[in-house]
Structure 1
Amino acid sequence: MSQRTTTPDRAPDPSTVLLRGGEIHSPADPFATAMVVSRGQVAWVGSEGAADAFAATADTTVDLEGALVTPAFTDAHVHTTSTGLALTGLDLTTAATRDAALERVRAHAGARPDDRVLLGHGWDAARWPDTRPPTREELDAATGGRPLYLSRVDVHSAVVSTALLDLVPGITGKHGYAVDAPLTRDAHHAVRAAAFAAVTPAQRAGAQRAALRHAASLGIGSVHECGGPEISSEDDLTGLLRLAGEEPGPRVVGYWGERVTGAADAERIRSLGAVGAAGDLFVDGSLGSHTACLHEPYADAPHRGASYLDAAEVTAHVVACTEAGLQAGFHAIGDAAVSAVVEGFRAAAEKVGLARVRAARHRVEHAEMLTPETIAAFAELGLTASVQPAFDARWGGDEGMYVERLGVERARSLNPFAALLRAGVALAFGSDSPVTPLDPWNTVRAAAHHRTPEHRVSVRAAFAAHTRGGWRATGRDDGGVLVPGAPADYAVWRTGALLVQAPDDRVARWSTDPRSGTPGLPDLSPGSEPPLCLRTVVAGRTVYVRPGE
């Protein structure tokens, strides 16, 4: 299969670097303590003694002092500008009450007198004592009557001030408008577009830099930007790709969530720099906002959610993308939405051939409510499941938001990572940041310690899904692993003892297991401290160094 890239890979560092005296996480040599990087690629991994042969020819020698070197993480679902705006602006994810959220709004408005529209993110009324979102009157008072957009934590609904509504003609007639409740569907998309139109190019670039710097500080070497006409803009995507190509930082792979009906649409999406008409091409919404599309009604609402695309529309998009050689994909969370996606892909396979559909490595984002039948269909059709383990960590369990929305039985079926792996479905892990934070080691931990035990996967499988899985999701098989010839995208970590997880999920109490020949990984048991990133390298070039190192 041919490789896809958003833009040509940035120029690699032409120098040769020898790293020695550490632990190299490599399937080429599970006991490797040294690695050579040359011209942006891994050139060799091996033992400390054998590293002496490279010392004289290396431009630089790095003493790892026992540190762990792993492939850099790939976050397979990110909204970079929104992440940066949350990092640098009004973030309500930790507001424990409505009053606390309103106080943060009030302080933010006072600190940003020149902003045309105040932007904030992350409120979650389901976690507040009385579960009531802020009213428009409360927001008007907190802002002094200024335009304000506050997205719910899942970014599928928002509360806004009256002044923002006044900027959107015809808003009261749009589907999803409510007099004094969160806006959803078309009404939400309209106010979001008005709010983000007020962000200046300089603000946008600053937010993007902040997000990419933060990602690099966490050992993330690549992010998949999931843009689209309903959640961002073409200028946002092209500006981000341009910035990522010009400045040191993580690689950015762009997706644009817009329907393709023919070759002209596909070519236009390629012209944006996107590798696929995928990512957040919405088939439905989210569980938290009651807009995920379900076969049966919600446990706490008398409806089945929202459907934005039906199976026939899925089919048309997949056929057009496959014939144009473009990756297709969809956002689908509810079981009815996932069923529509599967039905649509199967119909597309009948039209263009199963082999062509499988070869395209189309993808589905989130895919939370799966059944044995839809899991088998994902495997049959060669679909990649781009999933977010932190969703379960935040909203799973017998008392979480999933149970409130679905009841215990349906909630326990969500995010079945183990069943997906057993069926042979390719997994790529991400955060959907800013919905949940960029936090790769805790993402791995969340998958290994899923709140529903039968859905847990090994730390090793979770780590692979968050490294190599992200590369494979873009059609590249050469990255996300430290073997000779692979891109030199890696991170250096300070961590405790390394462990090898046995197939029966017990954790062995040794540094590495000679019987398995498997490289060890950090202890990610509940309560343990995740590794600390010391350095992140992309294509052989350092993009982050921890201060003081």
Structure 2
Amino acid sequence: MTQEIVFHGGAVFTGAGEPLHGHAVVVRGKRIVAVVPEEHAVEIAPDARRIDLAGALLSPGFQDAHIHPVGGGIELLQCNLTEAETAEETAALIRAYAESHPDEEWILGGGWGMDHFPGGNPPRGLLDEAAGGRPVLLQSRDHHSTWASTAAIERAGITAETPDPADGRIVREPDGYPAGTFHEGAGDLFEGVRPATTAELSYQGLLRAQEELIALGITGWQDAMVGAGVAGIADPLTAYERALSEDTLQVHVVGAQWWVRDGGLDQVETMVARRERIAAEHSDRRLDLATTKIMVDGVAENQTAAMLTPYRDGHGHDTDNSGLSFIDPEALRRYVTALDAAGQQVHMHALGDRAVREALDALQDARQANGDTDGRHHLAHLQIVARADVPRFADLDAVANIQALWATHEDQLDELTLPFLQDGQVDRQYPFGDFARAGARFAAGSDWPVSTADPVQAIHIAVNRAYPGSVQGPLGGPQQCLDLATAMAAYTSGSAFVNRREYDTGSIREGYLANLVVLDPDPFTLPASEIHTSRAVATWIEGRNVYSAVPAIATSDTRKELS
């Protein structure tokens, strides 16, 4: 007999606009069959299990439009530094891990914060002491920098004479020897010696990540790095396919196939073939590979984000560095046009204002060559965007894929970024309000494990432009704040649109999958400064309760009947 459930007693955010009040949501099996005034729910489902939300909010399940779950899960299983708040705490965690894992030849992991070290560059000596001289490679939280011990540097054969790669930079000591930090593509210098991630570890990392994310109300995501091994992490596709075969993948996943910077146009055919194979084998679209991820530039903290103006030095003088375009702009236009013509969505990391312009120029070329293909292409991160480029998002149907948690004054921005940018660029940081006024469509993601995957924490900052307890004003001014309904929509219906799943997920409406999250307290009832106190207390996927922090919401024993 098909299970029927009626959710009542709380507001319903349908995926857009203000929440409904006095309504019930009726679920039959995997799908929502009705959203009706509470008094009519008994007529539709007289024998249903009734769940009293007790004032909590029922929302579509969150969808993360830019995340690295397999890598994040693996880091939770390795030397995990995400909880450290100082250089001393970071060293203590490394020391504790080394002591508790004496048989590991290499220590791998990540999560260190650039703002914990002078100039954002942790030294090899600190790592040597903490790890007892073992080879160590640890990724920064933003995964744009690698921290290496002396033993790792020696095994890779890197010396003072080793040149910086075209897409990266080696931080050096006065004599030219590597100091321990390798930014962007310089981290690839360890590929020949870095231990490969085993297929088993990747699979366990996926399962660990899924558990973590479901508990935050996330029921689907776009993995921003599938189809290639990067930074020592094996191709996540193997882990996803195993999870499908063993029926352990509970969420729906769009995998953005990784574009190798020097791989050329032949990659398009390979990606389409991989997409079609997965589509034929998994017609339920639990896994979809119709997206390609392209890294256009780096990040501002290590001055590799591609900027229209030069970075400044510590004395406020212009340098000859304006960041890196990882792909020649002319080549980027050809690649994006070919991908668009082949039916591949393009997901571009574009953080600096020059990178954003180059990405938009590529989309414009694709539009002129191919017409409107409904590509749903999106640009992620968007830290600095020139005013002239903001309206181009709506004009080109480009989605602004925002990582809202970063849109606040905090140490990494205030100490490692803003002092090295041109005057006035603080006002161009993450211009969400400008996008909204220009009619741009939003999606939202976390970039986890770069930062927390908790959508509520990101939504809080999208609305406030300040972290909880901050004494500083909103980053970029109050005009860049989003209203709560817009921020919630970005994380639900907006990301569902990007994932091409808006026809059955991302909204609460008749016929849609019952992918739901219960948020308590209801964030719409809270002062803006208190939104962060709301949390996911129950998650449902296709009508099944897959997580609950509150037994009353998960079990029928404490249900209340509708009157």
Aligned to 2:34: 44
Aligned to 1:504: none
Q: What is the letter of the counterpart of residue 270 of structure 2?
A: D
How far is the alpha carbon of 1:127 from its aligned partner? 4.1
In the alignment, the residues of structure 2 paired with residue 529 and residue 326 of structure 1 have an alpha-carbon distance, to the nearest angstrom, of 36
How far is the alpha carbon of 1:276 from its aligned partner? 3.5
In the alignment, the residues of structure 2 paired with residue 423 and residue 286 of structure 1 have an alpha-carbon distance, to the nearest angstrom, of 25
How far is the alpha carbon of 1:334 from its aligned partner? 0.9
1:477 paired residue among 502, 525, 531: 502
- Relative to the length of structure 2, the TM-score reads 0.83
Pairing of 1:107-256 with structure 2 (within 5 A): 107-128=96-117, 130-131=118-119, 133-168=121-156, 172-173=162-163, 175=165, 176-178=169-171, 179-191=178-190, 195=194, 197-228=195-226, 229=228, 230-231=230-231, 235-243=235-243, 246-247=247-248, 249-256=250-257
Q: What is the letter of the counterpart of residue 44 of structure 2?
A: F
1:352 paired residue among 357, 360, 370: 370
The answer (yes or no) to whether the contact 1:395–1:402 under 8 Å persists in 2 is no
Worse-matched range after superposition: 164-173 or 153-162 = 164-173
The answer (yes or no) to whether the contact 1:76–1:224 under 8 Å persists in 2 is yes
In the alignment, the residues of structure 2 paired with residue 132 and residue 373 of structure 1 have an alpha-carbon distance, to the nearest angstrom, of 32
In the alignment, the residues of structure 2 paired with residue 474 and residue 418 of structure 1 have an alpha-carbon distance, to the nearest angstrom, of 23
How far is the alpha carbon of 1:164 from its aligned partner? 2.5
After superposition, the C-alpha distances for 1:393-425 in whole angstroms (9 at most, x for unaligned) are 364899454312325511220111111122221
How far is the alpha carbon of 1:434 from its aligned partner? 1.0
In the alignment, the residues of structure 2 paired with residue 120 and residue 86 of structure 1 have an alpha-carbon distance, to the nearest angstrom, of 5
Aligned Cα root-mean-square deviation (Å): 2.7
In structure 2, the gaps of 5 or more residues are 172-177, 279-286, 466-474, 553-563
Closer, same or farther: CA 192–347 of 1 in aligned 2, 3 Å? same
How far is the alpha carbon of 1:430 from its aligned partner? 0.8
Q: Secondary structure, in 3 states, of the residue corresponding to 1:466?
A: helix
Aligned to 2:80: 91
In the alignment, the residues of structure 1 paired with residue 370 and residue 45 of structure 2 have an alpha-carbon distance, to the nearest angstrom, of 54
The answer (yes or no) to whether the contact 1:41–1:540 under 8 Å persists in 2 is yes
1:362 paired residue among 365, 377, 402: 377
In the alignment, the residues of structure 1 paired with residue 483 and residue 233 of structure 2 have an alpha-carbon distance, to the nearest angstrom, of 38
1:336 matches 2:354: yes
Worse-matched range after superposition: 485-494 or 213-222 = 485-494
After superposition, the C-alpha distances for 1:418-468 in whole angstroms (9 at most, x for unaligned) are 111222211111111111101111111111112222211111111100111
Worse-matched range after superposition: 161-170 or 453-462 = 161-170
In the alignment, the residues of structure 2 paired with residue 415 and residue 88 of structure 1 have an alpha-carbon distance, to the nearest angstrom, of 32
Closer, same or farther: CA 69–360 of 1 in aligned 2, 3 Å? same
In the alignment, the residues of structure 2 paired with residue 265 and residue 481 of structure 1 have an alpha-carbon distance, to the nearest angstrom, of 34
In the alignment, the residues of structure 2 paired with residue 97 and residue 108 of structure 1 have an alpha-carbon distance, to the nearest angstrom, of 17
Pairing of 1:445-456 with structure 2 (within 5 A): 445-450=460-465, 451-452=475-476, 453-456=478-481
In the alignment, the residues of structure 1 paired with residue 156 and residue 396 of structure 2 have an alpha-carbon distance, to the nearest angstrom, of 42
After superposition, the C-alpha distances for 1:510-534 in whole angstroms (9 at most, x for unaligned) are xxxxxxxxxxx24252245522322
The answer (yes or no) to whether the contact 1:227–1:237 under 8 Å persists in 2 is no
The answer (yes or no) to whether the contact 1:193–1:231 under 8 Å persists in 2 is no
In the alignment, the residues of structure 2 paired with residue 142 and residue 347 of structure 1 have an alpha-carbon distance, to the nearest angstrom, of 51
Pairing of 1:455-470 with structure 2 (within 5 A): 455-470=480-495
Q: Secondary structure, in 3 states, of the residue corresponding to 1:275?
A: strand
Q: What is the letter of the counterpart of residue 216 of structure 2?
A: L
In the alignment, the residues of structure 2 paired with residue 434 and residue 467 of structure 1 have an alpha-carbon distance, to the nearest angstrom, of 20
Q: What is the letter of the counterpart of residue 285 of structure 1?
A: G
Q: What is the letter of the counterpart of residue 207 of structure 1?
A: G
Q: What is the letter of the counterpart of residue 264 of structure 1?
A: E
The answer (yes or no) to whether the contact 2:301–2:413 under 8 Å persists in 1 is no
- Relative to the length of structure 1, the TM-score reads 0.85
In the alignment, the residues of structure 2 paired with residue 398 and residue 537 of structure 1 have an alpha-carbon distance, to the nearest angstrom, of 36
Q: Secondary structure, in 3 states, of the residue corresponding to 2:32?
A: strand
Q: Secondary structure, in 3 states, of the residue corresponding to 2:408?
A: helix
In the alignment, the residues of structure 1 paired with residue 517 and residue 454 of structure 2 have an alpha-carbon distance, to the nearest angstrom, of 14
How far is the alpha carbon of 1:65 from its aligned partner? 3.4
Aligned to 1:275: 289
In the alignment, the residues of structure 2 paired with residue 431 and residue 83 of structure 1 have an alpha-carbon distance, to the nearest angstrom, of 12
Closer, same or farther: CA 400–44 of 1 in aligned 2, 3 Å? farther
Aligned to 2:309: 296
Closer, same or farther: CA 124–20 of 1 in aligned 2, 3 Å? closer
How far is the alpha carbon of 1:20 from its aligned partner? 2.8
In the alignment, the residues of structure 2 paired with residue 148 and residue 527 of structure 1 have an alpha-carbon distance, to the nearest angstrom, of 40
After superposition, the C-alpha distances for 1:144-198 in whole angstroms (9 at most, x for unaligned) are 2222112222211111113333454668345133411411233213436854x43
Aligned residues: 507
Aligned to 1:17: 5
How far is the alpha carbon of 1:101 from its aligned partner? 1.6
In the alignment, the residues of structure 2 paired with residue 66 and residue 193 of structure 1 have an alpha-carbon distance, to the nearest angstrom, of 56
Worse-matched range after superposition: 159-168 or 535-544 = 159-168
Q: Secondary structure, in 3 states, of the residue corresponding to 1:30?
A: coil
Aligned to 1:494: 520
After superposition, the C-alpha distances for 1:324-350 in whole angstroms (9 at most, x for unaligned) are 111122111111111211222222222
In the alignment, the residues of structure 1 paired with residue 252 and residue 32 of structure 2 have an alpha-carbon distance, to the nearest angstrom, of 17
1:393 matches 2:394: no
1:54 matches 2:44: yes
Aligned to 1:285: 298
Aligned to 2:445: 430
Q: What is the letter of the counterpart of residue 428 of structure 1?
A: A
Percent pairwise identity: 26
Closer, same or farther: CA 118–34 of 1 in aligned 2, 3 Å? same
Closer, same or farther: CA 33–277 of 1 in aligned 2, 3 Å? closer
